[in-house]
Amino acid sequence: MREITYLEAIREAMTQEMERDESVFLIGEDIGTYGGAFQVTHGMYEQFGPERILDTPITELGLTGAATGAALIGMRPIAEIMFMDFTTLASEQLVNQAAKLRFMFGGKASVPMVLRTPAGSGTGAAEHHSQSLENWFVHVPGLKVVMPTTPYDAKGLLLASIRDNNPVVFVEHKLLYKTKGEVPEEDYTIPLGQADVKRSGTDLTIVATSIMVSRSLEAAEELAKEGINVEVVDPRSLRPLDTGTIVESVKKTGKVLIVHEAVKTGGFGGELAGVIAESEAFGYLEAPIVRLAGREIPIPYNRTLEQNAVPQVANIVEKARDIVQLKV
């Protein structure tokens, strides 16, 4: 099978869906002739024109409101927020309108829109362009939140998100854009709420999201050299969450490490820990549930400080080793 980048997989999903469904259009800042801040929409303006690739002024609130209104009348907009940090500006429309309208109208209205946004650190973009705010939106009933790790998942999950009749926040880590993987050319979808076991193991379950899945897989290879067999589970979508796959993995290994880039306080790791603690997996635990997350600081500009602000492979290896060796 051919290999393409994560970025190309996202572009291909949008292109194929726009070719298939005339109700799909893109709206965002610099997504037209410029091709997007990370060149994800490069070439799409030339193919679909200004009526379906809508360049907006710098107004995250306005473009999200326009997408919400368009979705209400039967369109399927894909709104791009240039950096996840600026979803803070879009939150009134996303949280107070898009997420609630279906409930407010008793199910007679729907808001089939996708809000795509690059997140995370690692590019030297500093405090205002490097945050991981996914759990803000997980907290909101009515929103779905998706975080693909591989190019294959990115295409399949984005196609499923565009066809969903609910607003979806689709989080793309900036460091994943250039990663490559096998992706079919044909149309396919991955159901939202279906986790994936990226690596099977018996000694420890690592539940990780986004870029931390990649780092956890690398850490698992290092640990395998020491005879430690790690299972890596990628939820892929945070809401809805596939609790069954996670619970079964923890029951099998008896130990669990949760890894994400966002700061620990209020992060998705707390939700995962709660899910595990309240499930039948709790009785199988041979060690406490452990979370490894970003430090409680804004992301620094300095490259060394930036790397030390979020978990790296070495941190995952060290924490996993401690858990496996723990005797209770």
Catalytic residues: 129
Tokens of 60: 């995250």
Of the candidates 197, 150, 209, 156, the one whose C-alpha atom is nearest the C-alpha of residue 176 is: 150
- CB-neighbour burial class of residue 254 (10 A; exposed 0-12, middle 13-18, buried 19+): middle
DSSP state of 298: P
| Chain centroid offset of residue 18 CA | 22
Per DSSP, the residues of 197-236 read EEE--SSEEEEE-THHHHHHHHHHHHHHTTT--EEEEE-S
Find out whether 147 and 209 touch, Cβ atoms under 8 Å.
Answer: yes
For residues 164-203, b (16+ Cβ closer than 10 Å) or e, as one string? bebbbbbbbbbbbbebebebeeeeebbebbbbbebbebeb
Sign of CA dihedral 64, 66, 72, 76: negative
Residue 325: CA atoms inside 13 Å, Cβ hemisphere, count? 9
Closest to 53 in 3D by CA, of 93, 25, 82, 22: 25
